[in-house]
Amino acid sequence: MPIWMGHLAEREGEWEKAAGHGFLACLESVEAALWLIAGGRQAQALVQFQSAVEVALKAFLNRIDPTLAVEAGSTDGRTIKFKKAVGKVADRLPWVAGWTGRLGDLFDLRNEVAHRGSNGATEGRYAECIATVAFPFLGEFLRQKPHELSLENAMTPDIRRELQVADKVCEKLCQGSLPVGPYVLYTVGLATRYAWVDWPRPEHRPGVLSSRNDDFELAEQARKYLPAAWGDEVVENHLCAICCGVNLFVHVRHVAEPERRLIPLAARCPKCGLEIDDEDRYLAEHHVRPFPPEVVDRYFKDLPR
């Protein structure tokens, strides 16, 4: 059963509330963006996210006074430009002023894609702008009164979690003056596909995995193909954050001070197909769920003396 079925009541309630407040098109654009991310079209996802932000801003202004969102002197109902809408909303919600520059960057990047198409050299910028600007701003903005909408309920908690993971990965990369790559949204796409369709069944994946839908048989086969570089620095039978399977393999680095910790470096799930390689270790670090204390203790106990 697709994961979203378990959140049906929350989702339907949020979408009904969005329609009542004029935000339906906003949620539709967000959902379209998520599917584009799932299909590897991050540039077009950026366009949809910017559209969602613009719709939300103008819906807010329209609720206050329908003339606020309409261009002065317009006889056909043409709405104001995006940056002007940001300014008008900031006049009424002072906290939005802190986002003005970043929202302007979102709009400029959107224009580049809309008019000239995507650019492979700037794919990391698309991902970073979605993760650190569009989604967090929308989440905060929609929570405001009087609409009080929850993107978590509208899109499922698992997808929201992975967008927050992407935001944290971008922050970590920026702290280290490292470039952001499109891979930061990898788990967002995987979570979207897994949440909204009954996918992927193990028998639908080509390669080394068995056609029999047996998690432990899949795990046994996957273990044989783990990278040799992982050596014995592996935690097995961990809970996968995408499919909730219990056979996630995690390559880890152990740290003893100031407290014992296991830091994920890479991960593979034989059930849902998750594969995070060591070069994307910051994604693994923030995506993999925390290890239970007993797992950490057992790992350190088994270390060579």
Using CB atoms within 10 Å of the CB of residue 116, give its burial: 0 to 12 exposed, 13 to 18 middle, 19+ buried: exposed
Give the position of tokens 């910051």.
282
- Per cent of the chain over pLDDT 90 is 76
Q: How confident is the model at residue 197 (pLDDT cuts 50, 70, 90)?
A: confident
C-alpha distances out from residue 227 to 95, 192, 218, 224, Å: 47, 27, 16, 9
**pTM value?**
0.90
Cα–Cα dist 190/188, whole Å: 5
Report the pLDDT value the prediction gives residue 195, as an integer from 0 to 100: 85
Report the pLDDT value the prediction gives residue 248, as an integer from 0 to 100: 96
- Per cent of the chain over pLDDT 70 is 93
Digit-coded pLDDT (tens) for 1-49:
555 566 778 888 899 999 988 999 999 999 999 999 999 999 999 999 9
Return the H-helix or E-strand segment holding 217.
helix 215-224
Digit-coded pLDDT (tens) for 236-291:
999 999 988 899 999 999 999 889 999 999 999 998 899 999 999 999 999 999 99
C-alpha distances out from residue 301 to 239, 298, 304, Å: 21, 5, 8
Report the pLDDT value the prediction gives residue 147, as an integer from 0 to 100: 86
Give the position of tokens 């930061």.
184
Whether the pLDDT of residue 142 is over 60: the answer is yes
